[in-house]
Structure 1
Amino acid sequence: MCGIAAIVTGVCIIGSNPYKETKEGLTSEAKKEYGSVLLTIDDLKPALLRRGPDHLASRKVIVQLGPETLVETSGIVYFDQVDQSQSPCCFGKTAKSNTSPLETCIQDVGVEEMQSTAQLDFIGAMLQLRGLVPVSQPLEDASGNLLVYNGEIFGGINIADDSNDLQVLLHELEISCSSDCLDFHMNGSCKSELGKSIPDILSAIKGPWAFIYWQERSKTMWFGRDAFGRRSILVHWPTCTDSRFILSSVSPPSYAKNYSGSDSSKNGLDNQMANEVTNSTHENTYWQELPCGIYSLVLKSSSEKHYMKKGPFGVVQKHKWTDPLLTKTISWDRSLLDPKIEPDIPIHTDKRPLPSDSLTVHAAFAQKVLSALRRSVMRRTKMNSIFQTSVKQLRDKEMAPVAILFSGGLDSMILAALLDRCLNPQYIVDLLNVSFDGQLAPDRVSARLGVIELQKIAPMRRWRLVEIDASLFNLTKEIKHVMSLIHPANTYMDLNIGIALWLAAGGDGWVDGKICNFLQEDQERYKYKSKARVLLVGSGADEQCAGYGRHRTKYKHGGWLALHEEMRLDMHRIWKRNLGRDDRLISDNGKEARFPFLDEEVIQTLLEIPLWGIANLDEPVGKGDKKILREVARLLGLEDAAAMPKRAIQFGSRIARESNRRNFGSNRAANQASAGSVKLHEYTH
């Protein structure tokens, strides 16, 4: 897990006009906030360093685009159907291509003696979790290519146990085919003898990632995030107040404030991309969540004779995933939806007893999911691929290399039981639990009961419950910090979830000897801070297994098809609703969030099971919702956890109740105001 960023200066992004105010104009507050002092590398470094405390560095690339880079006649620049009338960078005759949805701008550029300069600054911070020797980024190869990478490669590219993902990926990208061939521009792929295209390489990766890559030979900057958005990357599109193009894992606190009135940041995108950006944020902000995908920014040179603005320009293009299985998984289609239409596998209801053969079928479904989840946890916790900082740490009897965000609920109990099967018995497992109501919060009660159940099924494992107690009234500075981390998310619900997640991930709490099976029961409660760098999180379980109340509502009013569509919508928007935000919150503590339920194999396995094998919402809460995972829990021996109802962290920790009382006066007033969706303009308390 790392922090990455890039700043592109002196480049006019095609279709984006940073010098033209929209008719609404920017607010005076926005101009005051962003108009005088621009964001700098030094602004980004502290925020990135919190994500990657092992190493921080930056590299500057100066690109001189002279006449040798110009095409003398009929040079072709590709657009994704942008409005050229809005662009200060290109004009001329336009021709439609019959073989591509892209528009083509034909230019007679001549061969005037001129040079244009672009500056690219790359910043990389490192939290090293793989490899035997320290590695720093930005990492450069012999060809002058640069890579900053935030991710883990669990499959698709072979990574030896003693290797680091960053080094292996840079090598794969170096031998990829160049982006300057016509076939690449038209189709996003290249069939040359040089090897796979960059989209081919990235589409093959199993695991979470975000990256920024400078390809020297083609003068192209590549960037993007994995198909499910499990790693954060924010983008600032050029505007009239800041004409630079900026990418970053996280926003510096001073730039995590909203402004409104300008939509010029979307001018440089095609219609699909513009819609994705619009849907990825509640309102216009300096930063936006970058939609999942692979993008390229190709730098070209322009001349004063043929352009309104002198200097380099760039074209942003989004590329298709090239792995057919990944494309199918992203679509999130399930063929078996309704047991009335496909009655071969019956479903249990109170009115229709379940035949014995169906019991066997459902047990097979659960076993299949259990096997996929076990492999997912194993991939994410292999000790031979977790970087060890010293021999002393290896010999530390109290070492807990992996922790779990732990509520004692169904998802976290399954992860704990699976981790016990995957992790060497010598290691302690830290279970991180946060409460805003001491020992009375529902999640604290279930966490203590959960530890007792884990001790029954895994008595040889040392379980350490870390109880993190908090109060909103004592968190003034912390709240403002969390606000910068959740940005551009901007509701009270986001903030409540954010505070709870951030505190839990910090792991700074208390350990009670009466709960931990390796301590004396009369041992006093002592202060403890978890040093685990890997944190397992249950994200994705509710979306894929019908765990939310709205799923039950959709099923009640629209049946199986309505339920499927709601679940698919949840999976298609999980990157902008949850994962980017949660990655920023957890990684701010120098820990890497890993999501076993969002493993590619687990998603594919769940999609292969009929929807009525995943959930039966005719049954009561705590039984029919997430039915498949309740059966998995029983296979693991977790009978009590299998009956646990769904409880979101903001309610289970009781931060929502405390927030409602503080900001709205009471829970009743907050409910009347729909407090969860109320936007944060400024936290004034």
Structure 2
Amino acid sequence: MCGIAVIVSGIRVDVPDVLPDPVFHAPPSDQLLFSVDETKAALRRRGPDSLGCKNVVLHYKNSSSVEEQNIVSSIEQEEATGDCLSSTSGETCKADNGFGINSLGHLYFVGATLQLRGMDPVVQPLMDAFGNILVYNGEIFGGIHVSSNSNDGEILMQYLGSCCACSSSGHTITCSRSGKGQNSVPDLLSIIKGPWALIYWQHSTKTMWFGRDGFGRRSLLVHWPTSGDSRLLLTSVSPPSSLHESSDLVDESGMGKLNFWEELSCGVYSLSIHTSNADENLVGKVEHHEWTNPNLKELIKWERTSVEPKYEELHNICRKTPCEQQDMQSAALVKMPSGLGPVQASVPGISESLLTALRESVARRSTLSTLDQAVTRRHENGGSSPVAVLFSGGLDSMIIAALLDECLEPKYSIELLNVSFDGQLAPDRISARAGVKELQKIAPLRRWKLVEIDADLLTLTSETKHVMSLINPARTYMDLNIGLALWLAANGNGWLNDESSKGGDAGYQRLKYKSTSRIVLVGSGADEQCAGYGRHKTKYRQGSWVGLNEEMKLDMQRIWKRNLGRDDRCIADSGKEARFPFLDEDVIKTLLDIPLWEIADLDQPSGIGDKKILREVARLLGLHEVAVLPKRAIQFGSRIARESNRRNFGSNRAANQASAGSVAIYGPSSFM
């Protein structure tokens, strides 16, 4: 999928105080900070296969019957197909006015589709025969059965149409539905495995459901109504005009466009629309609903059963015997044949169980539908590449690449996207080239395409402004550095080393290359779950195992706000979909079931004890060289942090003294 949005206007939205931030309960007004067309343009930049929009127009209806709805709705059909992608030439869908004197409010849905599953093209928003409307951005990897040639959104729409409205505050009639498939919307969304964000209009109850998965793997930004803009807005990405400085775009509370959006907290929400008894205006009440799946609730709590080892357990894990090392090397031969799907590891053990979970996670995220295979063939260039890896040559990306080789058919090449701000001298470029050589040893028949993306921060003027709009509402230098590196890597505009021809004394000839993959596997979540950050070692030294566990738990419970929304927006802007194998529900569960002292041993030096379990997984895969590499964050490995520090603070030393990574960028003028 690609991106979604809704604009709710003409409705007084009542937001309860239980939501994270207090809001102004504003009456409907004509003052607008963002237009419909700006929202659509932001989604269109992502290069979707289609973009559609629909209006739900709400009318007040006098009725003496309590049982009868006093709100009626109609759907504004803008084009026969619902496709408004042609507006790049100036044509646009109808804006939020001109619906007639009896119209009280409307919900304007926009859906952009990068179709990666299903046999036939799909245009969002989806609408069924009962008037229900869905815009969906996500992938279903479990909980609901979706065959390889079915579309996630269409299958989910069928299930949603069978849901009752028992959890909706606006639903006053006793629900008579029962039996299989008639659960509430929160019940259904709680069982889905995989990343998602959605907005769903339930026609029968005049309720709009919205939310994002429990770990926030898909972006969804929200603007709660304020005096500056009384609409409720939801979107996958903010319009670029979010960062245009203008004194007349600040409301009476001092909040302007820069503070307009916030990351929607993970969960399921509803907006139940009814009429006010006092003035017969439309009123919408927002509710936050609890997850109902106990397994999901346990994962979100992120509670580990074994945190502090006993003395004898610590003694047993100090060092592995040579015999155990030999067993691990033998287990490395237990591999899954390419393209044959996941298999169980034959050697029992903790690291083997994690390897199995990771292997199945990558397999789920690299299965290609008939339609996506056809798209891949159209872009074939010396071996088509449907799936890429965000690649530093470090531990996490090497594990993903090796597992992708096992899961993807041999006929496909694999793109390894590597970005550098210091040419061939950046640490990530050096480790990437070494990593490719190691991958070639364990998978010599695979064509590995190391896409070397070279960047110069001084020349990225317009690109920097654009990435600032993508990372919004994040706005620190660290966010910008990471966002730029991810955006450039996902764009995939770089160079390949041509192995078929020599370039004289310079070695292999470099050829210009543009990535064609539409799926990018990313290693997010590995450091948070396996104690890969420097602060983890600090917490361990200060508070031992309990302190380490609490810091890791904090990282996982805030990853949606600090990392995933930002990363999803930066990668999706290039017409690619980010998928996170380490954040698969089964992988998270497997890691939580492993004692903490088996995850990491932070008494050991860097490159040995940090992410200890992943280093064991790497050895099982035959990746012995990368198994001892220290952790490097992308902003340091690509050297964008160094260049940013010199540019904005004068030197690395001055930047360190100012804690540059956490310094906020307040507007374009402060970083250009």
TM-score interval, smaller chain:
0.7 to 0.9
Match among 649, 654, 661 for residue 634 of structure 2: 649
Match among 162, 170, 174 for residue 175 of structure 1: 162
How far apart in 1 are the matches of 2:599 and 2:316?
10
How far apart in 2 are the matches of 1:592 and 1:447?
22
How far apart in 2 are the matches of 1:618 and 1:529?
44
How far apart in 1 are the matches of 2:251 and 2:32?
20
Alignment of 1:557-572 (within 5 A): 557-572=542-557
Does 2:262 correspond to 1:288?
Answer: yes
How far apart in 2 are the matches of 1:569 and 1:222?
28
Answer yes or no: is the 8 Å Cα contact 2:31–2:229 preserved in 1: no
Partner amino acid for 2:632?
R
- 1:260 and 1:373, CA in 2 relative to 1: closer, same or farther beyond 3 A? farther
Match among 44, 66, 90 for residue 49 of structure 1: 44
Answer yes or no: is the 8 Å Cα contact 2:168–2:272 preserved in 1: no
Does 2:346 correspond to 1:348?
Answer: no
Match among 286, 289, 313 for residue 283 of structure 2: 313
Does 2:126 correspond to 1:148?
Answer: no
Give the C-alpha shift of residue 14 in structure 1.
1.5
Give the C-alpha shift of residue 384 in structure 1.
3.5
Answer yes or no: is the 8 Å Cα contact 2:419–2:454 preserved in 1: yes
Partner amino acid for 2:205?
S
User: Alignment partner of 2:365: what SS?
Assistant: helix
- 1:182 and 1:135, CA in 2 relative to 1: closer, same or farther beyond 3 A? closer
Does 2:576 correspond to 1:591?
Answer: yes
**Match of residue 356 from structure 2:** 371
Partner amino acid for 2:295?
L
Give the C-alpha shift of residue 680 in structure 1.
0.2
Alignment of 1:186-225 (within 5 A): 195-225=182-212
User: Alignment partner of 1:156: what SS?
Assistant: coil
**Match of residue 4 from structure 1:** 4
Answer yes or no: is the 8 Å Cα contact 2:383–2:411 preserved in 1: no
How far apart in 1 are the matches of 2:174 and 2:253?
29
**Match of residue 74 from structure 2:** none
Partner amino acid for 1:293?
G
**Match of residue 277 from structure 1:** none
Cα deviation code 1:86-144 (max 9, x no counterpart): xxxxxxxxxxxxxxxxxxxxxxxxxxxx9772211000111000011100000100000
User: Alignment partner of 2:601: what SS?
Assistant: coil
How far apart in 1 are the matches of 2:180 and 2:4?
32
**Match of residue 159 from structure 1:** 146
Alignment of 1:484-633 (within 5 A): 484-513=469-498, 523-633=508-618
Alignment of 1:77-116 (within 5 A): none
**Match of residue 122 from structure 1:** 109
- 1:117 and 1:443, CA in 2 relative to 1: closer, same or farther beyond 3 A? same
- 1:585 and 1:23, CA in 2 relative to 1: closer, same or farther beyond 3 A? closer
Partner amino acid for 1:216?
H
How far apart in 2 are the matches of 1:187 and 1:439?
68
How far apart in 1 are the matches of 2:212 and 2:153?
15
The percentage of aligned residue pairs carrying the same residue is: 57
User: Alignment partner of 2:210: what SS?
Assistant: strand
Give the length in aligned residue pairs: 608
How far apart in 1 are the matches of 2:437 and 2:496?
15
Answer yes or no: is the 8 Å Cα contact 2:116–2:368 preserved in 1: no
**Match of residue 416 from structure 1:** 401
Give the C-alpha shift of residue 348 in structure 1.
3.0
Answer yes or no: is the 8 Å Cα contact 1:510–1:526 preserved in 2: yes
User: Alignment partner of 1:524: what SS?
Assistant: strand
User: Alignment partner of 2:565: what SS?
Assistant: helix
How far apart in 2 are the matches of 1:69 and 1:487?
48
> If the length of structure 2 is used for normalisation, what is the TM-score?
0.84
How far apart in 2 are the matches of 1:540 and 1:670?
27
Does 2:324 correspond to 1:324?
Answer: no
How far apart in 2 are the matches of 1:532 and 1:391?
8
- 1:529 and 1:15, CA in 2 relative to 1: closer, same or farther beyond 3 A? closer
How far apart in 1 are the matches of 2:514 and 2:23?
53
How far apart in 2 are the matches of 1:673 and 1:186?
60
**Match of residue 367 from structure 2:** 382
Match among 296, 299, 303 for residue 273 of structure 2: 299
Partner amino acid for 1:60?
N
Over aligned residue pairs, what C-alpha RMSD do you find? Answer: 3.3
Answer yes or no: is the 8 Å Cα contact 2:376–2:385 preserved in 1: no
Cα deviation code 1:250-293 (max 9, x no counterpart): 0001124699887799xxxxxxxxxxxxxxxxx98100000000
Partner amino acid for 1:554?
K
**Match of residue 73 from structure 2:** none
How far apart in 2 are the matches of 1:429 and 1:435?
19
**Match of residue 62 from structure 1:** 57
- 1:193 and 1:311, CA in 2 relative to 1: closer, same or farther beyond 3 A? farther
Give the C-alpha shift of residue 45 in structure 1.
1.1
- 1:183 and 1:37, CA in 2 relative to 1: closer, same or farther beyond 3 A? closer
Answer yes or no: is the 8 Å Cα contact 1:183–1:190 preserved in 2: no
Cα deviation code 1:435-489 (max 9, x no counterpart): 0000000000000000010011110110010000001111000000000000000
Answer yes or no: is the 8 Å Cα contact 1:469–1:509 preserved in 2: yes
How far apart in 2 are the matches of 1:257 and 1:390?
37
> If the length of structure 1 is used for normalisation, what is the TM-score?
0.83
How far apart in 2 are the matches of 1:571 and 1:187?
39
- 1:631 and 1:194, CA in 2 relative to 1: closer, same or farther beyond 3 A? closer
**Match of residue 111 from structure 1:** none
Partner amino acid for 2:517?
A
User: Alignment partner of 1:555: what SS?
Assistant: helix
Answer yes or no: is the 8 Å Cα contact 2:137–2:198 preserved in 1: yes
How far apart in 2 are the matches of 1:69 and 1:209?
41
Give the C-alpha shift of residue 679 in structure 1.
0.2
- 1:262 and 1:576, CA in 2 relative to 1: closer, same or farther beyond 3 A? farther
Match among 655, 658, 667 for residue 673 of structure 1: 658
How far apart in 1 are the matches of 2:610 and 2:304?
18
Answer yes or no: is the 8 Å Cα contact 2:198–2:212 preserved in 1: yes
How far apart in 2 are the matches of 1:166 and 1:336?
39
How far apart in 2 are the matches of 1:531 and 1:417?
20
Bigger Cα displacement from structure 2, 168-177 vs 388-397: 388-397
Answer yes or no: is the 8 Å Cα contact 1:537–1:594 preserved in 2: yes
Cα deviation code 1:195-242 (max 9, x no counterpart): 111111111111000000000000000000000000000000000010
Partner amino acid for 2:112?
A
- 1:72 and 1:511, CA in 2 relative to 1: closer, same or farther beyond 3 A? closer
Answer yes or no: is the 8 Å Cα contact 2:228–2:250 preserved in 1: no
How far apart in 1 are the matches of 2:23 and 2:512?
57
Give the C-alpha shift of residue 598 in structure 1.
0.2
Partner amino acid for 2:62?
P
**Match of residue 29 from structure 1:** none
Give the C-alpha shift of residue 15 in structure 1.
4.8
Does 2:389 correspond to 1:404?
Answer: yes
**Match of residue 108 from structure 1:** none
Answer yes or no: is the 8 Å Cα contact 2:197–2:211 preserved in 1: yes
Does 2:217 correspond to 1:247?
Answer: no
- 1:390 and 1:646, CA in 2 relative to 1: closer, same or farther beyond 3 A? closer
**Match of residue 457 from structure 1:** 442
